[in-house]
Chains A and B, each alone.
Chain A
Amino acid sequence: MADRTMVPFPSNAIVPRKDADKRPVLEAHHLGIDFGGLTAVEDFNLTIGRSEIAGLIGPNGAGKTTVFNLLTSVYQPTRGTILLDGYDTKGKNSFQVNKMGIARTFQNIRLFANMSVLDNVKVGLHNKIKTSFPASLTHFFGYSQAEKAADRKALELLDFFSMADMRDMPAGALPYGDQRRLEIVRALATQPKILLLDEPAAGMNPSETARLMENIRRIRDEFDIAVLLIEHDMNLVMGICEGICVLNYGRVIAKGTPRQIKSNPKVIEAYLGKKAEGKNA
């Protein structure tokens, strides 16, 4: 695996399909980052297979969002490598790793609040819309066809979450739950190979959470992509994740299936403290 880091990144298209199917979509090797002498994440290893739903859990301040920021190149790691679809993301910007196939949502929602719901999704489609710069300035040279195709694609995606009727509303005016869903739609519009969800169920009631679980499964099945999610709602995590990674104080303390994680004494200790009598985490 290690020699894959040598592969340059001109385009994903050159990868032969049969090889791609077997390769993990995301690998992190010995990832670490320091903030001014303080180590936030250390020796983080993770492999996520194609079409896998994985969870990243841990107490507050364990470094989960920092891992997301590392994976999406918001921060550059101090140590270690990240392979996205086999390609090293070292030195790449956020927008470049998005083009390589990773998309995310944010813990504190980051929508384009004053733009319409449709336009939010169309910004997500940005790199898929084939309009040249002269075409944008003149509205000739295939502008209309490309724009119409983008509208169709955006509405199709919105329809996936039954949000097509909100297309003209400003994104900032949507109810909270819809804002979270729109962020997912916008991320999906970039046609990622792996989707990172940062606390997708935060602030949702149980019935909304149940619908969200259903939606995450549908995303995986219909778009055929991997999902990595950070979540505090254990019902959700244990319900849909196939693999779980537990982080505490910036280090991985356990990895495994939901069943293994539930009974892992280290995990229980991290969540409930040392002297806790093994209740459910």
Chain B
Amino acid sequence: MKQFLTFVKKEFLHVLRDKKTLLILFGMPVVQILIFGFALTNEVKNSQIVVVDYAKDIASQEIITKIEASRYFEIRKTLAGSKELEAAFRTGEIKMAVIFPEGFNNQLLHQNKAQIQVLADASDPNNATTLTNYVSSIINDYQAQLNQENAVPLQIKPEVKMLYNPQLKGAPNFVPGVMALVLMLVCVMMTAIAIVKEKETGTMEILLVSPFKPLMVILSKAVPYLLLSMVNVVSILLLSVFVLDLPIAGNILLLFAESTLFIITCLTLGIFISVKTDSQQTAMLISLLGMLLPTLLFSGFMFPIENMPLPLQWFSNVVPSKWYYIIVKGIMIKGLGFSYVWKETLILFGITIFLLIVSLKSFKIRLS
């Protein structure tokens, strides 16, 4: 055990001394999160919307005034009817329409509840979500204001309808994707390079001649990257919560446990590559081409897997990041518990065990 700690300490020294590695390790996640974050989730300001007011009563007017006052929206037209509406959506002239039904105020006063229809152009799903959220909060605000004065609580329900893309598929829920990407890159590439480097410089032989077990050599190489990757997970989550305002809906501990599993998967992959290669360049190339590209292409993070030809869809099943992406999206965005992601977890676990066995086996062969 003491030998193991000595070794792990040495590995940490390697990592901490290498400025370039450190920069990649900790700079990359931050840069990626920010690039993806701000490239894909620009704050929505002065969006062109249309209000269709069939009611023309005091309540609808008050809400329209509120919407108008908001810096997020710019009301292009206030229409009396809905004829021009569709055309305006088609051309992309407007992003959202708010429709007040006839007798809006009446309903509100007599039935204590009323509906407002909200239509949004979901071909840009991120934008659509943001806009509908804004308008809903304005309506909620108005409702709260009314309820302060009224004894009977009134309820205004915005009925949101996403046009063109009702399920908001392809939504740039990029944080899970970036997590998969960063972990893949850090763990696979860095571990592979770290081990191959010892082979290249000849220190691996010295280690193999020593009484230190080969398995331990590999394990102690992996430990620092395991810990550093967990730091990365934390920093990505912090950035997404505090900079990008993307809250974590599900259980954080579960998210960590799943991330740790995925990190281990990646480390095993890195070890596998390092066993099979002899130079740092080869290890890097294989990691980039063999791991990073599939992660980008087949995890569902950038390109929807459903749209791919069947053979590619099948192939996507062996890409570990696909499963991790699904898990993280489930936990982080949808707030799902373990009972919903156990299948994916099991698959990921299976892949890890498989890789571990294969790489340890080939490592032994090399020694004979």
- The answer to whether A binds B is no
